Structures are given as C-alpha cells and as structure tokens.
Homo-oligomer: A and B are copies of this chain.
C-alpha cells in the first residue's frame, strides 16, 4: 500500500488579510515539509478568512482571492516546496457578480478548495452542501458544486471536500465511495459550540464509512467577530479508527503517516491511468456522473510528490477537557483575536466588584496580559464598601491597571438640572459610568469591554448605553450560572498550577446586585439564576413555547413573566456589542427575531 505523510494545518487566518493568509500558508507548508509532509491541508477559505459575508459580492475581493491562489502556487514552488501537495480553501467565481441580485438568483461564487503542486493549481473543488441555518447564510453567497474532484497523488486517489459536505449524508462522500478513493480531505471553518467536539468524531466516522475511505478533517482555529473556531482536526479510517486528533483552540500541525490503498480506477481498458503521471501539467483521468446528480472528475498532476523520508510520523490524540476549560479557552481566544485582528493596544472595563466584571477581567488578562487591561472602579453613593474592596482585590491579584472614578459629581449635575426619579435615576448612574468608560477609550485608545451575561441580555436586565456600552462582550453568550462555574474553575485551575486564583472569593459568593438603589439585589426582580437559566435554555436554545416549558415543570406565572421580558428586550439586544458564541444558539445572527412582535406565548391566539 502507498504511504502518505499528511499534515493538517490547524491554523488561524484573518478575514480580508489575503497577503497575510497566503504568507501563513507558505510558512506552515515549509514547517510541515521540514517534518517530511507530502500533503498539507489548510482550512476552508484559508486565503480569505471565514466568514467573509457580503465581501463575496465585491468583484475586487473575489479577484484578489483568485489572484492570490495563483501567486501562492508559484511562490510555493519558488520556495522549493513544489513537490508538496497543498490543499487550501479560497473563494472562486464563475465571473463578475450579478449587478441585480433579484434578477439573477445565482451568485456565481464558489466556496472552493484547490490542490497546488509543482507551481500549478492542479485541481479545484466547489463545496456541494451549503449550510443556511444558525449563523450560516451560504445560500446567500455561494452556488453549490455538483462534482467531486479526485486527484491521483503518490498513487492514491484523494478526494477534495469542504466543511458542510461532512455534515450531510449523500453528495460528495457518497460519490467518494463510488469513486473508490483512498483518502477524503475535508477542509473546515466550523465554529465552536459547547459539545460540538463530541459530535464531530462520530460524524467523521459515519462519513468515512460512507466513503469507504480514510477521512482527514482539518478545521480552522481563531476568532472572527462573534465566532471562534476550535480546531479539533482529526484523521479517521474507513473502519472508524481515530488515528490522530489535534487539541482545541491551538494553532498546530497534526502530522501523521497514512497507509492508503493504491488507486485502481482506470479510464480505459489499457489501464495506464494508474501509471506515473506525465512529466508536465495536469492530466485528466476521466469523468463520471451518477443518478443523484453528483459527478466525479479525476485528474493527476504532472509533478511527483517528494519521497517519504524517515518516519514513521505519528500524531497524538489530544485529551478532551472539561466544559469550563473548553469555554474559557474559547472566550480567551475570541477576545484575543478581536483585539489583535482589529489592532487594539489595550482594553478598559468597569470593575463593580461583582462576578461578571471579575470574570471578564480575568479573561482579558489571560487573553492579552495584565499590562494591557485597565479596570475602572466607578463607585456611587449606593456602592457597598465590599464592591470597592473586591474590585481592588481583583486588580491586585491580576496585576491589571486599576483606577477609580467616583460617579456622584456627574450624577449630581444631571439631577440638579433635570427632574428625574425611580428607574430614570438608576439608569442615569449606569449611563454616567458608560460615558466615563467611553471618554477613557477616546482619550487613551482602549477597546471598551462590556460584561453583561447571556441571562441579563435575555431578560433585558441592563441599561442601554449604560453598562451595555462597549465594543466587545466576552460573556454575551454565557449564562449567569456558567459565569459562576467559570470563575470557580479558573480559580481552582490556578490553584492546581500553584498560582494565585485571580477572582476574589467574595465576588463569587455574594448575592448579585446592580447597586443602583439602596439594598438592591438581582433577586428583587428575577428568580434564582438556576431557575432562570433553565427557562431561558428552553425558550431560546430549544425554541420551546409556553406549554412546553410548563410541561417541563416550570412555574406557569414565572414562565409568562420571563418570556415576556425576553420578547420585550429584543430592541436592546439589537444594539448590543458582539461577543463570542459558545452555545448552540447565541443572540445575534444565530437567533433572528423581530423587534415588533405581538406574539405572546401562553395567550389564546385564535380569538
């Protein structure tokens, strides 16, 4: 059986940084080649970053992606890497974008994979299954391909596929089975969700069985706005054996030697298709089309792969970690990449002494270092002594840049000039804090972090333009109960490593309060967070209605009240800061609801 040393390049690309992403391909290909790799696979849309959204409609952008691919093929050869096969994702085009999208439903754009070898683009493949659910809008952007590309490489038939192709039965993997390929390479930009890694391995096993071939699954790593990609690349045999698996949230090369069946397909009776490829250019080996509409196109490259040296190369199998560790890594990487890819030098956030701001501060310190994190205590007349103490203690433990800006003089100036009472005074305090943070941002150049957790965002327990101000929110998709779990995990993890737990114990154990009026605590307005979060999970993540939630054992009056709060807070969420998605359904593109919406769960609709 032929051997092939495969490297899965689980690396980080940046949306729109076409030169930087192409340079990363060259860098990682050189590193992989130094380890003897013959085939290096990069993630979906490596050249452009992912998701590029409506940039796909700009001809200049798509042309740049296509030009970069050609240049990259030549550059790799010039680098002395022309005998390494490189599989890389990019955006392709059938021609200029239609000027009138309503008149022409097709976009002519392709979510494409290319195989580069010998300075040439040997083969391309267009993604067949386009996801158009959750955060994905790929029917908006791409035309589906309807043909599987099979490349003869080192005597092995290798099929190219992209991301969603692996999530659905039929189509490319079924075609790979018909084609009798030895290896299917599936390149991904598959966003992180808690527990998604538990789904991936059985999924890849199912597709490997369907194709009757080894599957090499490579996923991107890194943050892009509200998405974070976790890697978790792997190779699984047709029999379902996991050969190697990368970690989550790590940039790495996963290198492994594969014994693969020799290519046997021949396009003519003389049987020369299995022979060595011709000396130059690309040789088509045949084309088939099946009843399901999925065709097969076969090619061989004119350049032989470099020979296998040393060995064997064996990738490890990364251990799975706890939910809290996984989420902490996701939030840390998501924030890190938002800061770095957008060119911020530092971040600023308000430190209330409460759990949310403490956890965000700890995430920020882990993401970019304490010297780049400014924490501001902004006490009012209603702030308890422990609030200031807990904030100061957090600052001391983490080493962040700590300041204090008492808000009372500014609040008093408003109160002296306007007639305000009740909720208006409460919100005024939060808004004065927002103005202070934004002034520091304008004056000193920090990115403002906001700290409202998913439970608060759900029920609207926040002040618009007050505590909600900020360019990024690490906790946007984290329920309050998980915020506490993260805090405890992070402290325990520090203790395990012999370091100082960053989050003051008092911030974890005290009852949560917005401290906007004397003696206020969250439980004045909201049920216990374990009760609240269970209702929210059913309503938001599960699309359960009133009756489903009652049937699940929740109190009917409470369900009515919470669901109404969630519905009425849609206008606030629409103006909220982006934040890293970690759940099956995050606020934002994942959950698209009208603001104007008179549907009320639990009321009769037919009278």
Contact = CB atoms under 8 A, between A and B. Distances in A.
B601 A60 contact: yes
B434 A438 contact: no
B338 A60 contact: no
A147 interface: no
A414 B434 contact: no
A471 B571 contact: yes
Contacts of A71: 606-607
A61 B15 contact: no
A571 to B, nearest CB: 6
Interface string A561-593: 000000000010011111000000000000111
A343 B433 CA distance: 30
A536 to B, nearest CB: 14
Contacts of A605: 18-19, 64, 67-68
Nearest to A590: B54
A52 interface: yes
A509 interface: no
A202 B478 CA distance: 51
Interface string A154-170: 00000000000001100
Given A16-B599, A137-B137, A412-B413, 15 more contacts: A16-B600, A18-B599, A18-B606, A53-B594, A54-B592, A57-B543, A64-B606, A67-B605, A102-B133, A132-B140, A405-B417, A418-B443, A434-B465, A465-B469, A471-B571
B435 A61 contact: no
A22 B605 CA distance: 10
Interface centre among A54, A55, A598 (most CB of B within 10 A): A598
Interface stretch (A269-277, A366-374, A386-394, A422-430): A422-430
B607 A19 contact: yes
Contacts of A424: 439, 442-443
Interface in A355-407: 405-406
Task: Kindly state the interface size class of chain A when it binds its partner.
Answer: 35 or more
Given A414-B410, A438-B431, A596 B133 contact: no
Given A55-B594, A606-B18, A428 B439 contact: yes
Interface in A28-74: 51-55, 57-61, 64, 67-68, 71
A134 interface: yes
20 contacts: A16-B598, A17-B599, A18-B605, A18-B606, A19-B607, A55-B593, A55-B594, A58-B543, A97-B543, A101-B133, A223-B596, A225-B594, A225-B595, A409-B416, A418-B440, A420-B439, A424-B439, A428-B439, A432-B435, A574-B578
Contacts of A337: 596
A133 B223 CA distance: 26
Contacts of A464: 438, 469
Interface in A113-138: 129, 131-134, 137
Nearest to A570: B225
B439 A435 contact: no
Interface stretch (A247-255, A481-489, A524-532, A544-552): A544-552
A231 to B, nearest CB: 19
A14 interface: yes
Contact of A592 (B53, B574, B575): B53
Contacts of A137: 132, 137, 140, 592
Shortest 4 CB-CB contacts between residues of A and residues of B: A60-B545, A16-B599, A413-B413, A64-B605
Interface in A10-26: 14-20, 22
A342 interface: yes
A421 interface: yes
Nearest to A447: B571
Contacts of A413: 409-410, 412-413
Contacts of A80: none
B416 A442 contact: no
A105 interface: yes
Given A439-B427, A465-B438, A342 B593 contact: no
A58 B596 contact: no
A22 B598 CA distance: 13
